[in-house]
Structure 1
Amino acid sequence: MLSSKLVCFALVSLAFGQLYLVASEDTIAVCPTNFTQVADRCLLVDRSWKNFYESDRHCRSLNAGLLSISNPTEFNDINKWLPIIAPYQPEFWTSGNKLGGTADYYWQSTGDKALYLPWSAGQPNATTGDCLTLLANVTMTPEEAILSAHRLTVKPCTQWAPHICQAPLQIFKTQLCLNTTAFFEAKIPA
């Protein structure tokens, strides 16, 4: 009889303990090491000059992909972030390309058709290549070089440029037990 009460008490205590955990559950989102959160993704600028294929391989070695752009809000956030992280860098590879003989551009990192394409003036110029970079116009003054907002431009995939890698936010669920000794405080009558 005592053992059935003990089992019942243990099950009820375990159930209440789980309620404690559920009541104090929290979700946090963080970026991988060396990546910065920009909008709802993690970005990393690599200033080393590589062609499109080498840049793609480098990002993949970091469990990431080259940058893709899906909407104007995301694009504006990227353009606000770039002058802070790389103030004098006018060009970066993205994952955009029309490799494989298609007429449309695709984001290689996601496999999605590129529907939002904020082009630079005079672009796209298909005769200049198959891959997309973010390019800022540079205005020289006697005091400094001023970069405009980055826009997409077409470039041969074998030319060199720095690149931007993107990775998804890493989502973690944390559970905090507010009374860690609750299960062990139960006293059983002898």
Structure 2
Amino acid sequence: MLSSKLFCFALATLAFGHIYLVASEETISVCPTDFVQVAGKCLHLYKSPKNFYYSDRYCHTRNAGLLSIRNKKEFDAINEWLPTVAPNSPEFWTSGNKLGGIEDFYWQSIGIKAFYLPWNVGQPIATAGDCLTLLANVTTTAEGTIMGEHRLSVTSCISYAPLICQAPPQIFKTQLCLNTTAFFEAKVPA
């Protein structure tokens, strides 16, 4: 009789401990060192101008790929972020290209066809190259230079520009662990 009560007590304690664990689960999204989270992805800006091929290799050494833009939400978030991290940089490499004799542009970093292409004025120019950069609309006034929104432009892959790497955020689930012996170790004040 005592053993069945003890078994039921142990089972109840285990069940309540398990419910407590589920209730305290939390998901954390973390970017690698030197990356910042923008639009659900981790971005790293490298300001030293390089060509497309060097830029692609550089991102791979950081376990990342060059920037891809899948939709307007990502595009808007990136354009909001760029003036804060590189206010005077008009151009950045993306992973967009049509290398290998293909006609359509692909996002090399994620391996899919580029459907969302927010082109700069007068773009695309087929004879300009095979790679895509984000190029700002720059206006010169009497007060100075005004840098507008960055949009896609076709560029020669051997041109030089700063670059943006992207990596997926690392997702971690945390749980508060309950010390199963804590119930038995607790002392009731006398």
With the length of structure 2 as denominator, give the TM-score of the two structures: 0.89
Deviations 1:46-90 (CA, angstroms, capped at 9, x unpaired): 101111111111111111110000111211111111111100000
Q: Look up the match of 1:44.
A: 44
Deviations 1:108-141 (CA, angstroms, capped at 9, x unpaired): 0000100000111111111111000000122223
Q: Is the 8 A contact 1:107 1:113 kept in 2?
A: yes
Give the CA deviation at 1:185: 2.5
Aligned mates of 2:84, 2:163 — CA distance in 1: 16
Q: Which sections of structure 2, spanning at least 5 residues, go unmatched? A: 186-190
Q: Look up the match of 1:25.
A: 25
Q: Look up the match of 1:82.
A: 82
Give the CA deviation at 1:166: 0.8
Aligned mates of 1:111, 1:181 — CA distance in 2: 46
Aligned mates of 2:155, 2:7 — CA distance in 1: 71
Write the mapping of 1:102-117 to structure 2, written as runs, cut at 5 A: 102-117=102-117
Q: Look up the match of 2:182.
A: 184
Q: Look up the match of 1:140.
A: 140
> How many percent of aligned residue pairs carry the same amino acid?
65
Aligned mates of 2:49, 2:5 — CA distance in 1: 71
Q: Look up the match of 1:59.
A: 59
Q: Is the 8 A contact 2:67 2:164 kept in 1?
A: yes
Q: Which sections of structure 1, spanning at least 5 residues, go unmatched? A: none
Let me know the Cα RMSD of the aligned residues.
1.9
Q: Is the 8 A contact 1:17 1:183 kept in 2?
A: no
Q: How many residues align?
A: 185
Aligned mates of 1:49, 1:34 — CA distance in 2: 18
Q: Look up the match of 1:172.
A: 172
Report the 3-state secondary structure (helix = DSSP H, G, I; strand = E; otherwise coil) of the residue aligned with 2:182. coil
Write the mapping of 1:147-166 to structure 2, written as runs, cut at 5 A: 147-166=147-166
Aligned mates of 1:60, 1:14 — CA distance in 2: 46
Q: Which amino acid aligns with 1:186?
A: F
Moved more, 5-14 or 20-29: 5-14
